[in-house]
Amino acid sequence: MPSFEGAFAALFDAQFPRLFRLLDRLSGEPDLAADLAQEAFVRLYRRAAMPDVPQAWLVTVALNLFRNARSSRSRRRRLLGVARGEQAQADPAPAPDDAVLADEARRVVRLALDRLPERERRLLLLRAEGYSYREMAAALGLHEASVGVLLARARRAFRAAYEGGCDAS
């Protein structure tokens, strides 16, 4: 039986990129996504034992960390005031050679995702990262049998939000 450290290293190698991409898509902020994915693995390491379904455990922890980061940021902005909060949280100016079409596509997708309820957004992003129905159900506290129906509804809602966003731009 492999040691915890060996199992942890293998899990990290296999799952960190996937968890990072999920958080990056959810947040739209690669630095935040990297920090949250890393923190989820730090918490698993401190736990010193593998959960029954490590991928679902990591997703659950990472999504909770994301929710906490968002509420902290919201509180910080309220406390600092709108102008100071935006300045403190602003990303560096993009390089002039950034691809304008890629930025516009990301913007429209982000707007469509932001229009969805949280559960639908998370379902779509988990599925996009290749998580199984079982893993998605465990991470989101759903019955595995209902994931397919909920995912189909989420896809329809995204399509409607996306097409509505394309018409509005």
Domain ranges in the chain? 1-92, 94-169
| Apex 89 CA angle, 83 and 95, nearest 5 | 105
Local confidence pLDDT in tens for the 169 residues of the chain: 678 999 999 999 999 999 999 999 988 889 999 999 999 999 999 999 999 999 999 999 999 999 888 876 665 555 555 445 455 555 655 555 555 777 777 788 888 988 999 999 999 999 988 899 998 999 899 999 999 999 999 999 999 998 886 554 4
pTM for the model stands at 0.60
> Which one is the CATH code of 94-169: 2.30.30, 2.60.40, 1.10.10, 2.60.120?
1.10.10
CA atoms within 13 A on the CB side of 29: 15
